[in-house]
Amino acid sequence: GRITQWSPPEAARLQAIAGGLAAELAAEFSPLSASSTRLRVTLDLTAGGFRDRMLMHGLQMTKTRLSDRFSVLVQGFARDAERRAQQA
């Protein structure tokens, strides 16, 4: 792998190739306040062969399940926050 961008403290970008799978990982840091920072991470995968495409398909299914679970949690949090705001 190699580092393709390094600009601390704002961002970093890495590229790696393993077998027929190429990956690019990017991390971006955004200060929100003196005590908190937002971290945005993206991962782009490119498959070369059949086995690598099958691996990526499994990863996509896992990502979809996690996204669905996260959406349910966020909706529940929003409903609770709305109820608390109405009671106040």
- Over residues 50-74, the pLDDT tens digits come to 888 888 899 889 989 999 998 999 8
CB 1 within 8 A of CB 16: yes
Residue 30's Cα: distance from chain center in Å? 15
Cis before residue 8, ω within 30 degrees of 0?
no
Which pLDDT belongs to residue 29?
92
Mean pLDDT confidence for 4-33:
88
pLDDT: is 9 or 44 the higher one?
A: 44
Longest dimension (CA), the chain: 58
Mean pLDDT confidence for 34-52:
89
Which pLDDT belongs to residue 21?
86
Which pLDDT belongs to residue 41?
92
- Rounded Cα gap, residues 54 and 39, in angstroms: 29
Task: Kindly report the average pLDDT of the chain as a whole number.
Answer: 88
